[in-house]
Structure 1
Amino acid sequence: MHVTPLAWGLTIAVIVGLLAFDYFAHVRKAHTPTLKESAIWSSIYVGLAILFGVVVFIVGGTSMGSEYFAGYVTEKALSVDNLFVFLIIMSSFRVPREDQQKVLLFGIVFSLFARTAFIFLGATLINSFAWVFYIFGLILLVTAGNMLRPETEESHSADNFIIRIAKRFLHTSEHYDGDKLFTIENGKRALTPMLLVMVAIGGTDLLFALDSIPAIFGLTQNVFIVFTATAFSLMGLRQLYFLLDGLLDRLIYLSFGLAAILGFIGVKLILHALHENNLPFVNHGEPVHVVEIETGTSLAVILAVLVVTVIASLTSERGKAQSAIAGARRHATNYADLDYTSSKEERERIYAKLITKEEQVKKLAPKYRQEAREEAGLVDLIRRAHADHDAFLNNR
């Protein structure tokens, strides 16, 4: 299906309009969205994405519609995994809860620009060099392998190279000044942590684009579908962050599910590359007759893997244990930092979450409770958080 310039223009206008509405209606004034607000707007954005997919089905046909939904579901799943990294970065930067929306919206906009650039670059390479499919396939297989390796929060910490350089050579403030990027400290203009966290989020967005764009090109080479599926998967990501906050820890098998999906798409890309082969050292430069995986099959596999992954994460005892332990550590760390916030409501919110996670740990099977006691420094960290809370209450 040929996509007219008018269709491109209208689509881009709708996406820009949604981003502008998101900023002026929800993000411009700093506040912490309620669960109800996040749920409503997450549903609206998912509904818009589905509605757009239905239009693609009607106008572009079954094949094009299937490609859009396969790409959208894959990119949405990858976005949820990205949210966990955003959570770690914002926790390590101690971003005030009410200002996290602006950081997330910046991340979404930057990610949209970065991925759009990679989309058109990827399309140009694919149109010029069929062997690029081999490269994309290998990238996804390597990424899938990396996802199977155990990760710690330190592997996604905000203390990356760019941030260390900025702190060393530029005058940076240790404290936030609302949502300002610059502030005056001791009579000098200084960078605020808000600017640094945006740099950190932007850097991770570039890395995410390197994984996600080859993945969706493995499902479709239609640039319009790649762009719209990617863009709509990013819409509503800010609301989804607040909606899933607290549930992200429970999705402990998400990385395994995504590894399976990326590995599957990587194999699909390599099979396609063999089918289109023109490399002289592979089958003498002739196409290799191999089985190609249809888009409908891809969509079914992706949905099945995600369903199994989510169910396994939410129902397994190991998942509940790891969620409780990881959550207790994160909330205790946040509260133990006395400079995190001066807001009584925010302190109470974090402390309540810590208490909830502690209760969950106490209800775990004996072997998991023992694991919690053996977690390096966890018990001391929780005790410190309780002591800090008692001191805060006594000084009110």
Structure 2
Amino acid sequence: METIGVWWMWLVFGLLVSAMFAADLFLAKGETRVSIRKAALWSVLWVALSIAFAGALWGYLDQTLGRQIANEKAVAFLTGYLVEKSLAIDNVFVWMMIFSFFAIPIHLQRRVLLYGILGAIVLRTVMIFAGSWLIAEFHWLLYLFGAFLLITGVKMAWFADHETNLAQNPLIRWIKKHYPVTEHLEGERFFVLRDGMRMATPLVLALILVEFSDVIFAVDSIPAIFAITTDPFIVLTSNLFAILGLRAMYFLLADLGGRFSLLKYGLAAILVFIGAKMLIVDWIKIPVWLSLSAVALALAISIAASLMRKPELQAGKRS
């Protein structure tokens, strides 16, 4: 696997991620509700840290490997970060639906999200290293990833207005069939003892669905970043920087979910574009800066169109 990452860069990044997650955990301790203002400030901080990392990476590469490689890798990082961040918005809306279905109060949502994001960090790290090795060994997998993203994008646009029924979710039905579940929440506990029987609570079901949803979204987003660069250091750093800001972004969007009714179409366009790019990679090379521009444009148009949409039309879609 060809990468710009040397051992000390991996070490520094690992320490940075650990410190950022610990800070998020410590500062969230004792919170009962995160205000929109605080969530917005944290979101800005996470984005600023990501941009600062990109700047530091560019500066180092500019001094060691030259301006061309520095520009290429920095733009690849920013593109991967933007792709992951935009796709993560859809993941956030799924989390809203999960918490609403299980009637999880806001102070317990924080607990579930912390475990969910930690699981996402571990999962994506494993998937990225495995994907990097597989692509290095089997180049034709890029075509498979491309076709998958293309189909996924079309499917996302086609079913954009489809409402998911969690009551019929096969995973939840299987768990309830094979493991006793309490009817109500038991505070922050995931499991309780009832008459000598260990029972799961709805809180653990919510956590399982949050983790499962991240698996599904990782299957989309990680191949999408491999379409931009196959350097595992860039793929991992851009992915995890986007993941670390998800908790703040969730609370920022928690009261605004209905305002972005057309976002799915923008995300679908991004997946179709990236999927097509992977399918033609050996014949037509699309510059990374053009990919960044296309992703940003699709995201901006879908968000702007959603905000301009009449409120009654959005309400009609949700009813």
TM-score (normalised: structure 2): 0.92
Distance in 2, matches of 1:58 and 1:322, equals: 48
Alpha carbons of 1:85 and 1:301: their partners in 2 closer, same or farther (altered >3 Å)?
A: same
Aligned equivalents of 2:48, 2:234: Cα separation in 1: 17
Structure 1 vs Structure 2 CA RMSD: 1.7
Choose which of 272, 291, 298 in structure 1 pairs with 2:291: 298
Amino acid at match of 1:234: I
Output the amino acid matched with 1:304.
L
Q: Per-residue deviation at 1:235?
A: 1.3
1:89/1:156 contact within 8 Å kept: no
**How many angstroms does 1:316 deviate by?**
2.1
**In structure 1, what is the equivalent of residue 111 of structure 2?**
102
- Per-residue CA shift, 1:320-363, capped at 9, x if unaligned? 23433466x5xxxxxxxxxxxxxxxxxxxxxxxxxxxxxxxxxx
> Retained in 2: the 8 A contact 1:158–1:197?
no
C-alpha contact (below 8 Å) 1:68/1:226 kept by paired residues: yes
Give the equivalent residue in structure 1 for 2:60: 59
Q: 1:36 to 1:202 in 2, by over 3 A?
A: same
Shift in CA distance, 156/233, structure 1 to aligned 2, threshold 3 Å: farther
Moved more, 62-71 or 109-118: 109-118
Runs of 4+ in 1 over 4 A off after TM superposition: 151-154
Distance in 2 separating the partners of 1:143 and 1:104: 26
Partner of 2:66: none
Task: Read off the aligned partner of 2:312 and give its amino acid letter.
Answer: A
Partner of 1:323: 314
Over residues 228-283 of structure 1, what are the superposed CA-to-partner deviations in whole Å (9 max), with x where a residue is unaligned? 100011112111111112222111111111111111111111111xx2xxxxxxxx
More displaced, 160-169 or 182-191?
A: 182-191
CA contact (8 A) 1:89 1:201 kept: yes
Q: Cα gap change, 1:46/1:24 in structure 2, threshold over 3 Å: closer, same or farther?
A: same
Contact 1:137 1:269 in 2 (8 A): yes
Structure 1 residues 71-123: Cα deviation after superposition (integer angstroms, max 9, x where no partner) = 00010000011111111111111111111111122221222222222111111
Partner-residue secondary structure (3-state), 2:30: coil
Cα separation, 2, equivalents of 1:42 and 1:127: 35
Q: How does 1:141-180 map to 2 (within 5 A)?
A: 141-151=150-160, 154-155=163-164, 157=166, 159-180=168-189
Which of 1 and 2 has higher RCO (CA within 8 Å, sep 6+)?
2
Are 1:203 and 2:196 matched, yes or no?
Answer: no
| Inter-CA distance 89–306: structure 2 relative to 1 (3 Å threshold) | same
Paired residue secondary structure (1:183): strand
- Asked if the contact 1:85/1:156 (under 8 Å) is kept, the reply is no
Contact residue 252 and residue 322 of structure 1 kept, 8 A:
no
User: Percent identity at matched positions?
Assistant: 34
Number of residue pairs aligned between Structure 1 and Structure 2: 309
The Cα offsets for residues 354-385 of structure 1, whole Å up to 9 and x where unpaired, read as xxxxxxxxxxxxxxxxxxxxxxxxxxxxxxxx
Query: Equivalents in 1 of 2:22, 2:124: separation in Å?
Result: 19
**Structure number with bigger Rg:** 1
Please state if 1:83 is matched with 2:85. Answer: no
Structure-1 residue corresponding to 2:19: 17
Give, in whole Å, the separation in 1 of the partners of 2:73 and 2:111. Answer: 34
Output the amino acid matched with 2:57: V
Quote how far apart the aligned CAs of 1:173 are.
0.7
Secondary structure in structure 2 of the residue aligned to 1:155:
coil
Q: Could you tell me how far apart the structure 2 residues matched to 1:194 and 1:158 are? A: 15
Cα deviation for residue 197 of structure 1 reads 0.9
Distance 2:167 2:98 in 1: 5
Offset of residue 59 of structure 1? 1.9
1:184-232 deviation line (CA, Å, top 9, x unaligned): 3355331111111111111111111110111000011110010010001
For the residues of structure 2 that align with 1:306 and 1:192, how far apart are their CA atoms?
Answer: 38
Shift of 1:24: 2.5
How far 1:37 moved relative to its partner? 1.6
The equivalent of 1:4 in structure 2 is 6
- Which AA in structure 2 matches 1:54? G
What residue in structure 2 maps to residue 359 of structure 1?
none
Q: Which amino acid aligns with 2:41?
A: I
Matched residues in 2 for 1:123 and 1:101: separation?
32
2:199 equivalent to 1:190: yes
Unaligned regions of 5+ residues in structure 1, if any?
276-289, 330-396
Tell me the distance in 2 between the aligned counterparts of 1:44 and 1:30: 19
**CA distance change for structure 1 residues 260 and 152 in 2, over 3 Å: closer, same or farther?**
closer
User: What is the TM-score with the length of structure 1 in the denominator?
Assistant: 0.75
Give the whole-Å Cα distance in 2 for the aligned partners of 1:322 and 1:20.
42
Structure 2 unaligned blocks of 5 or more: 62-69
**1:102 to 1:300, Cα distance in 2 relative to 1, 3 A:** same
Deviation at 1:153, TM superposition (A): 6.4
